[in-house]
C-alpha cells in the first residue's frame, strides 16, 4: 500500500487505485489480464467491497481497466501505466517567484501559425469541430439581428448563453444559476480574473507541479509567488501533500485543473476533490478550478467539478468552449462564487464585455441541441488519437521515453530518456517546422527539463504521423546528459512500445 495515500484517512479508495496502478506499472498485472475480484482485493487490503468497487469505477473512468460482462475487470489491452514523472523528479515546496516568460512567449508565438505542426498547442483540430454548423448559425444570428450584434453585451454576458452554461453544470454535479455565470473571452481570461479577484501582489498561490504554463504567466504578471504541489499523472494532487503545504505556509489561493490536468492529464479522484474543497473551506482559502477539459473525458461519465462540493462559495470555476467548439470564438466563463462583484468589476475594467456575435452564435448552437452528440464523437476521436500518438511515440522515440495515457483532454506528457533537454528539443523541432511544448515551462522549478508536452488534438493524418516520426528522429539525434541515462528504466521503453 501507498503510505502517503493511506495517511489521508478518508481517502481510502485512492489507496486501492494506487495499489492496482502500481501493479500495472511494475508489470505484475499486464494488459488483458484479469484484476482481482472486489471480494478478493477487499479481503486482502482489509477494505469494504464498496470501497474497492468505487476504485474500480474510477479506474474504468480513467480508461485503465474495463469491465467484461460476467467476467470481471481486466487491464485494458492498449493501456500500460508509465512511471509518474513528478514522483521521480523531486522538487521543493518553497514559495517561488515566477519567471518563465521568455520561453513561454516563444511557445505562444508559434500559436495560430499554419506553417508549424501544432503539437505544441493544446488545441482541438478544426476537423473535429462542428465548423459548418457553427458558421451557419453565426450567419443566421447576424442576419436575424444585425443591430443587436453591434451592441455591447452586458458585462456579465449573453443571458441565454449563461442559462445554457448553468444547465450544463448539472452534468458536472453543480447546481448553478445563470446569474452566477459570467462570460469571458476564453478560459484564460476567466482564470486571470479569478486569480486577480482573490489575491494581491506577493501572495502565495498553490499550483500543481506540473501546471498549465499560463498559470505561471498569470502569477508572474500579478507578482504572486508559486508553491508547487506534486501532481501524479494518475490522480493529480494528493490531499495529504496539500495539507502539508497549508500547515507550513500562508496560502491565499489554489489553482488546480482537477479534470485532466494540463500537461500530465491527471484526473483527480472524486474523493480527493471533495477532501481538498473541504480542507480549503476550513481555512477560507479560495480554490480556482480550471475545467476546460471536463467535457473531454474518455470514460463512461463526466467527472464532477470541484464546485459541486463547494458549500461556501469559495470555488471559482473557469472554463470555455475553446477545446470543444471553437477556440477562435473566445467564449469562456467564470462561476466566481462569493467573489462575483470583484470578478464583475475586473471583467468590466479589462475589456468591458466579450464579443457579442460569437456569444449569440454559441448560445444559439447550444439551444439547437447538437452539442452533446458532437461531444460524444469528439471524445471517441480524441481517445483514438491519443492511442495512435502513443503508438507512434513508442515506435519512433528513443528507448527509455515515457508517455502518459490520459483519460481525457488532448495532451500527452512525455519524458525524453538519457537526460535529453526538452528546451533544446523544442528549438530543434521548431526549426523542423514542428511545434512542441518544452517541459520547463510547466513549472517554476527545473524538474521537468527533460519533458515535453505533445498535443494530439488534431487528426493523425499522414503529415502528422510523419511529424511524430521526425520528432522521434530529432530526439534520437540529441546528446544525452552524462550520467543521467541510468535514471530511465527500460520498462518505460517497453511500456511506450506496448500501445
Report the nearest approach of its own copies to the CB of residue 79 (Å): 31
Measuring CA to CA, which residue among 56, 65, 60 is closest to residue 38?
56
Quote the least distance from Cβ 258 to its own copies, whole Å. 22
| Binding of its own copies by 403 (CB under 8 A) | no
The answer to whether 195 and 224 have CB atoms below 8 angstroms apart is: yes
Distance CA(376)–CA(394), nearest Å, equals 27
Asked whether 149 and 360 are in contact (CB, 8 A), the reply is yes
32 binds its own copies per the rule CB under 8 A: no
Kindly indicate which of the ranges 106-114, 294-302, 382-390, 450-458 contains the residues binding its own copies, using the contact rule CB under 8 A: 106-114
Nearest to 272 by CA among 15, 1, 3: 15
370 contacts its own copies (rule: CB under 8 A): no
Q: Closer CB to its own copies, residue 218 or residue 403?
A: 218
User: In 3D, which of 479, 467, 489 has the Cα closest to residue 393?
Assistant: 467
Q: How far, in Å, CA of 61 to CA of 67, rounded?
A: 11
Among 38, 57, 149, 254, binds its own copies (CB under 8 A): 149
Q: What is the closest distance, in whole angstroms, from the C-beta atom of residue 117 to its own copies in the complex? A: 14
Number of residues in contact with its own copies, rule: CB under 8 A? 66
3-state secondary structure of 411: strand
Site for its own copies in 301-360 (CB under 8 A): 322, 325-330, 341, 344-346, 348-358
Q: Which stretch binds its own copies (CB under 8 A): 129-137, 300-308, 394-402, 406-414?
A: 129-137
Phi-psi region of 173 (alpha: psi -120 to 50; beta: other; left: phi over 0): left
Q: Which stretch binds its own copies (CB under 8 A): 45-53, 125-133, 247-255, 375-383?
A: 125-133
Among residue numbers 198 through 237, which ones bind its own copies (CB under 8 A)?
Answer: 201, 214, 217-218, 221, 223
C-alpha cell at 335: 462561476
Q: By CB under 8 A, is residue 368 in contact with its own copies?
A: no
Q: Does 135 bind its own copies (CB under 8 A)?
A: yes
The minimum distance between CB 339 and its own copies, in angstroms, equals: 14
What angle do the packed helices 462-477 and 371-396 form, to 10 degrees? 40
For residue 70, state whether it binds its own copies (rule: CB under 8 A). no
Q: Choose one: 186-194, 303-311, 367-375, 470-478; the region binding its own copies (CB under 8 A).
A: 186-194
Q: Shortest gap between Cβ of 393 and its own copies (angstroms)?
A: 25
* 263 is a contact residue toward its own copies (CB under 8 A): no
How far is it, in rounded angstroms, from Cα 478 to Cα 475?
A: 5
The gap from C-alpha 68 to its chain's centroid, in whole angstroms, comes to: 29
CB of 476 to its own copies, least distance (A): 31
Which CB atom, from 155 or from 270, has the smaller least distance to its own copies? 155
Q: Candidates 4, 37, 106, 154: give the one binding its own copies (CB under 8 A).
A: 154
Rule CB under 8 A: say whether 160 interacts with its own copies: no
CA distance 219 to 135: 36
Check residue 184 for interaction with its own copies (CB under 8 A): yes
Q: Which helix (H) or strand (E) holds 319?
A: strand 315-320
Which span (30-38, 152-160, 163-171, 242-250) binds its own copies, by CB under 8 A?
A: 152-160
Residue range at the interface with its own copies (CB under 8 A); choices 60-68, 73-81, 107-115, 254-262 = 107-115
Of 104 and 232, the one with the shorter C-beta distance to its own copies is 104
Applying CB under 8 A, which of residues 55, 59, 188, 475 lies at the interface with its own copies?
188
DSSP-derived secondary structure for 205-270? EEEEES--HHHHHHHHHTT-EEEEEEEETTTEE-HHHHHHHHHHS---EEEE--BS-TTT--B--H
Give the helix ranges, DSSP H, for 62-130. 85-89, 101-109
> Which CA distances in Å does 133 have to 205, 362, 397?
41, 11, 39
126: contact with its own copies by CB under 8 A? yes
Q: Is 355 exposed, middle or buried (0-12, 13-18, 19+ CB in 10 A)?
A: middle
Q: How many Å apart are CA 135 and CA 260, to the nearest integer?
A: 29
Q: Which of 7, 37, 101, 465 binds its own copies (CB under 8 A)?
A: 101
Q: Is 255 in the site for its own copies (CB under 8 A)?
A: no
Rounded Cα gap, residues 439 and 427, in angstroms: 13
Q: Are strands 204-209 and 253-256 parallel, antiparallel or unpaired?
A: parallel
> Does residue 129 bind its own copies (CB under 8 A)?
yes
By beta-carbon proximity to its own copies, the closer residue of 43 and 150 is: 150
Task: Tell the smallest beta-carbon distance from residue 88 to its own copies (Å).
Answer: 30
Name the CA dihedral angle for 489, 482, 455, 118, rounded to a multiple of 10 degrees. Answer: -150
Distance CA 240, CA 230 (A): 11
Structure-block grid coordinates of residue 324: 470543444
Among 120, 186, 239, 419, binds its own copies (CB under 8 A): 186
Q: What is the greatest pairwise CA distance in the chain?
A: 69
DSSP 263-294: TT--B--HHHHHHHHHHHHHTT--EEEE-TTT
Q: Is 434 in the site for its own copies (CB under 8 A)?
A: no
Using rule CB under 8 A, residue 121 touches its own copies: yes
Decide whether 40 or 99 has the Cβ nearer to its own copies: 99
Binding site for its own copies (CB under 8 A): 101, 105, 108-109, 111-113, 121, 123, 126-127, 129, 131-132, 134-136, 138-139, 142-143, 146-155, 184-186, 188-189, 192, 196, 201, 214, 217-218, 221, 223, 322, 325-330, 341, 344-346, 348-358
Amino acid at each position: 500500500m501507498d503510505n502517503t495515500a493511506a495517511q489521508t484517512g478518508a481517502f481510502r479508495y485512492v489507496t486501492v487505485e494506487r495499489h492496482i496502478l502500481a501493479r500495472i506499472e511494475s508489470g505484475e498485472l499486464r494488459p488483458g489480464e484479469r484484476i482481482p475480484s472486489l471480494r478478493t482485493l477487499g479481503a486482502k487490503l482489509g477494505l469494504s467491497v464498496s470501497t474497492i468497487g468505487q476504485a474500480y469505477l474510477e479506474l474504468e473512468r480513467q480508461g485503465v481497466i474495463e469491465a467484461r460482462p460476467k467476467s470481471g475487470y481486466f487491464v485494458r489491452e492498449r493501456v500500460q501505466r508509465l512511471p509518474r514523472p513528478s514522483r521521480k523528479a523531486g522538487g521543493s515546496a518553497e514559495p517561488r517567484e515566477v519567471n518563465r516568460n521568455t520561453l513561454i512567449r516563444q511557445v505562444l508565438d508559434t500559436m495560430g501559425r499554419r506553417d508549424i505542426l501544432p503539437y505544441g498547442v493544446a488545441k482541438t483540430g478544426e476537423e473535429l469541430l462542428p465548423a459548418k454548423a457553427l458558421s451557419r448559425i453565426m450567419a443566421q444570428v447576424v442576419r436575424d439581428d444585425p443591430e443587436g450584434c453591434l451592441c455591447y453585451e452586458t458585462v456579465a454576458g449573453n443571458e441565454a448563453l449563461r442559462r445554457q452554461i448553468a444547465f450544463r453544470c448539472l452534468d458536472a454535479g453543480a447546481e448553478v444559476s445563470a446569474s452566477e455565470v459570467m462570460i469571458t473571452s476564453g478560459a484564460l481570461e476567466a482564470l486571470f480574473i479569478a486569480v486577480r479577484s482573490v489575491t494581491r501582489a506577493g501572495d502565495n498561490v498553490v499550483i500543481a507541479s506540473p501546471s498549465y504554463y499560463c498559470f505561471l504567466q498569470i502569477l508572474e504578471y500579478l507578482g504572486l509567488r508559486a508553491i508547487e504541489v506534486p501532481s501524479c499523472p494518475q490522480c493529480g494532487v494528493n490531499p495529504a501533500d496539500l495539507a502539508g503545504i497549508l500547515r507550513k505556509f500562508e496560502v491565499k489561493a489554489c489553482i488546480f485543473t482537477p479534470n485532466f490536468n494540463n500537461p500530465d492529464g491527471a484526473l483527480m479522484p472524486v474523493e480527493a476533490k471533495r477532501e481538498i474543497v473541504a480542507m480549503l473551506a476550513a481555512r477560507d482559502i479560495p480554490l480556482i478550478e480550471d475545467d476546460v477539459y471536463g467535457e473531454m473525458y474518455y470514460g463512461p461519465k463526466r467527472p464532477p467539478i470541484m464546485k459541486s462540493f463547494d458549500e461556501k462559495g469559495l470555488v471559482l470555476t473557469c472554463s470555455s468552449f475553446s477545446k470543444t467548439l471553437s477556440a477562435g470564438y473566445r467564449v469562456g466563463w467564470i462561476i466566481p462564487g462569493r467573489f462575483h462583484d470583484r470578478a464583475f468589476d475586473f471583467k468590466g475594467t479589462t475589456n468591458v464585455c466579450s464579443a457579442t456575435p460569437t456569444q449569440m452564435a454559441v448560445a444559439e448552437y447550444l439551444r439547437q441541441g447538437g452539442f452533446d452528440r458532437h461531444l460524444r464523437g469528439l471524445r471517441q476521436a480524441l481517445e483514438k488519437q491519443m492511442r495512435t500518438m502513443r503508438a507512434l511515440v513508442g515506435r519512433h522515440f528513443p528507448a527509455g521515453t515515457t508517455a502518459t495515457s490520459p483519460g481525457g483532454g488532448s495532451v500527452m506528457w512525455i519524458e525524453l530518456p538519457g537526460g535529453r533537454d526538452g528546451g533544446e528539443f523544442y528549438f530543434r523541432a521548431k526549426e523542423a517546422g514542428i511545434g512542441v511544448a518544452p517541459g520547463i515551462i510547466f513549472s517554476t522549478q527545473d524538474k521537468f527539463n527533460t519533458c515535453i508536452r505533445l498535443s494530439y488534438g488534431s487528426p493523425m493524418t499522414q503529415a502528422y504521423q510523419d511529424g511524430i516520426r521526425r520528432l522521434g528522429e530529432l530526439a534520437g539525434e540529441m546528446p544525452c546528459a552524462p550520467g543521467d541515462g541510468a535514471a530511465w528504466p527500460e520498462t518505460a521503453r517497453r511500456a511506450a512500445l506496448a500501445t
